[in-house]
């Protein structure tokens, strides 16, 4: 009896369960099917001249990535966990900071010096953290997070591309080349070693979904390029869409994406500041509520696009008008939710705070605003989502740049591959923007886990 009650010893780690291993194979199978369809069936698309084969490259790259991940998933127990690789990442950031310093000395303030600054600062910080991590526990924790290094590397890569485009290859001394290569290698090795197990696990769990997605893309390819089942003008083949990225990479990413990003940051930033200020005033003070609330209620719900004619008149520069249009929608949503958040603070919090010696002003900053933060973030989230729509409208205002403008321009040119190319960037852009926001929220509002859900 006693023997039977004994808890069995934990089995040695045997990697993922068989079902997950099988799932991790599915994406590779889907890639194979799509590839066979692409290669074996003849192309019929008349607008493809010369014959684009980008889809094959895409499948090739995907096959390489998924082969590595699937292998990791299948033999997970043999893959070593990578803690040293994180150090590698931080060291690579040190190289980056050095490189950025060298380049900065060489070119000084150029058009893209902002990137350089950012990447140098973040790289330098990461490097300092890595150095400090040998002495302090907390610093070691932070230095072990690959996020820092990844951000600095991305900025750096962006810089290298821009820099190379602007100055040409002559600007590059051999030492800079060497540092770049070392840095990128260290980054890649570190990144792969750090993330490969997590990625492989994610792949194994989402294998069916990823496979279905790849198959869908394969079917779209067959429908558009092989059998011409849809109007060619509006539904171009995948190869043609990818071709747009190859041809217009600089314009799409460095002009349009950057321009949209900056416009959005300006609009959302101004709207956020104004919205929180208005919301706090309306929610906190009876007198401000009396004067401001009618304006918020009457002006706020007016759709963003309605402001366009007025915005053009009010601002001399089209760019300012565009910022205004975005900021306005953001302002309204945030001020409404901030005000409601502040009005809904439990009265007993103020009472307790007062009996502990707080003044009215202290109650505002130490009770009302912290307690309203979840609500403010909800408003910020809603506002960000609708600001993407406002962005497209704003870019019509004579700002001949940006993703929204690009998509419209391509549509008018009946160049639908460009439309799709722009749409995908837009989707990725919005996704990243929202994700960052959620990360910030989770960090700022860690206390509300288990208290408030939305």
Partner 1 sequence: MVSATGAIIADSVSKTFIQPDGGEVTALSGMDIRIEPGEFVCLIGPSGCGKSTFLRLVAGLIQPSSGELYLDGRRVTGTGADRGLVSQDPTLFPWLNVYNNVAYGLKIRKVFNERRADVQAYIDLVGLTGFERSYPHQLSGGMAQRVSLARALVNEPKILLLDEPLGALDAFTRMNMQDEILRVWTERGATMLMVTHDVDEAIYLADRVFVMTPRPAKIERVIPIEIGRNPNHGRSRDDPDFLLMRAKILQILNFTGHKHALEYNL
Where along the sequence are the contacts to partner 1 (CB under 8 A)? Answer: 346, 348-349, 351-358, 362, 366-367, 370-371, 373, 445-451
**Tokens (6 digits) for 440:** 């910030």
Q: Which is nearer to partner 1, 359 or 435 (CB)?
A: 359
Nearest approach, Cβ of residue 357 and partner 1 (Å): 3
Contact by Cβ (8 Å): 222, 239: no
Q: 261 vs 349, which CB is nearer to partner 1?
A: 349
CA distances from 180 to 161, 194, 306 (A): 12, 21, 49
Q: How far is CA 298 from the centre of its chain?
A: 34
Q: 302: which 2 tokens?
A: 């007016």
CB of 138 to partner 1, least distance (A): 14
Burial of 121 (0-12, 13-18, 19+ CB in 10 A): middle
Task: Tell the smallest beta-carbon distance from residue 350 to partner 1 (Å).
Answer: 9
The smaller minimum CB distance to partner 1, of residues 46 and 453, is found at: 453
- Angstrom distance (rounded) from CA 333 to CA 158: 34
CB of residue 367 to partner 1, shortest distance in Å: 7
The DSSP call for residue 345 is S
What does the radius of gyration of the chain's CA atoms come to, in whole angstroms?
Answer: 27
CA distance 105 to 99: 10
**Complex with partner 1: residue 8 or 450, whichever CB lies closer:** 450
* Long-range contacts at 77-82 (CB < 8 A, ≥ 24 apart): 77/13, 77/14, 77/15, 79/196, 79/197, 79/200, 81/197, 82/190, 82/193, 82/194, 82/196, 82/197
Rounded CA gap, 191 and 85, in Å?
7
CB 340 → partner 1: shortest distance, Å?
18
Minimum distance of partner 1 from residue 361's CB (angstroms): 11
SS (HEC) of 1-35:
CHHHHCCCCCCCCCCCCHHHHHHHHHHHHHHHHHH
Instruction: For partner 1, give the closer residue by CB, 298 or 451.
Output: 451
For 248, what's the count of Cα atoms within 13 Å in the CB-facing half-sphere? Answer: 19
Report the largest interatomic distance among the alpha carbons of the chain, rounded to a whole angstrom. Answer: 88
What torsion, rounded to 10 degrees, do the Cα atoms 169, 171, 173, 176 define?
Answer: -90
Nearest distance from C-beta of residue 144 to partner 1, angstroms = 20
Q: How many CA atoms lie within 13 A of 379 on its CB side?
A: 28
Q: How far is the CB of 370 from partner 1 (least distance, A)?
A: 5
Kindly report whether the peptide bond that precedes residue 424 is cis, defined as omega within 30 degrees of 0.
no
> Residue 24 or residue 363: which is nearer to partner 1 going by CB?
363
Rounded Cα distance, 305 and 403, in Å: 17
Of 247 and 351, which has the nearer Cβ to partner 1? 351
Query: Toward partner 1, which CB reaches closer, 291 or 447?
Result: 447
Residue nearer to partner 1 on the CB measure, 138 or 297: 138
**Pick 301 or 450: Cβ nearer partner 1:** 450
């Amino acid at each position: 009896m006693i023997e039977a009650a004994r808890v069995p010893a934990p089995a040695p780690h045997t990697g993922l369960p068989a079902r997950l291993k099988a799932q991790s194979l599915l994406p590779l199978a889907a890639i194979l099917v799509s590839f066979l369809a692409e290669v074996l069936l003849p192309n019929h698309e008349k607008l493809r001249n010369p014959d684009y084969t980008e889809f094959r490259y895409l499948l090739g790259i995907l096959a390489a990535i998924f082969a590595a991940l699937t292998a990791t998933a299948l033999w997970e127990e043999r893959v070593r966990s990578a803690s040293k690789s994180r150090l590698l990442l931080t060291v690579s950031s040190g190289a980056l900071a050095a490189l950025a310093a060298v380049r900065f000395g060489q070119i000084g303030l150029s058009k893209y010096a902002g990137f350089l600054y950012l990447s140098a600062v973040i790289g330098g910080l990461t490097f300092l953290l890595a150095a400090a991590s040998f002495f302090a526990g907390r610093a070691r924790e932070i230095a072990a997070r690959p996020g820092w290094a990844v951000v600095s590397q991305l900025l750096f890569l962006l810089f290298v591309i821009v820099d190379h485009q602007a100055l040409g290859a002559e600007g590059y001394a051999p030492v800079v080349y060497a540092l770049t290569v070392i840095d990128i290698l260290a980054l890649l090795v570190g990144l792969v070693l750090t993330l490969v197990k997590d990625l492989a696990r994610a792949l194994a769990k989402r294998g069916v979904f990823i496979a279905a997605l790849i198959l869908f893309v394969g079917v779209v390819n067959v429908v558009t390029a092989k059998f011409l089942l849809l109007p060619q003008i509006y539904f171009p083949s995948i190869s043609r869409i990818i071709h747009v990225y190859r041809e217009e990479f600089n314009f799409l990413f460095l002009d349009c994406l950057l321009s949209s990003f900056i416009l959005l940051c300006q609009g959302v930033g101004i709207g956020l500041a104004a919205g929180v200020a208005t919301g706090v005033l309306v929610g906190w003070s009876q007198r401000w509520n009396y004067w401001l609330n009618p304006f918020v209620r009457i002006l706020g719900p007016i759709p963003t696009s309605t402001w366009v004619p007025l915005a053009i008149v009010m601002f001399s520069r089209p760019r300012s008008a565009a910022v205004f249009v975005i900021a306005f929608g953001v302002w309204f949503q945030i001020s409404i939710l901030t005000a409601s958040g502040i009005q809904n603070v439990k009265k007993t919090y103020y009472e307790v705070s007062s009996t502990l010696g707080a003044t009215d002003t202290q109650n505002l900053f130490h009770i009302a605003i912290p307690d309203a933060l979840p609500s403010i973030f909800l408003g910020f989230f809603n506002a960000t989502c609708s600001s993407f729509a406002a962005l497209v409208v704003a870019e019509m205002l004579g700002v001949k740049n940006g993703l929204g403008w690009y998509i419209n321009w391509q549509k008018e040119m009946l160049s639908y591959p460009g439309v799709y190319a722009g749409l995908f960037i837009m989707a990725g852009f919005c996704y990243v923007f929202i994700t960052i926001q959620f990360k910030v929220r989770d960090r700022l509002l860690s206390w509300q886990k288990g208290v408030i859900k939305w």
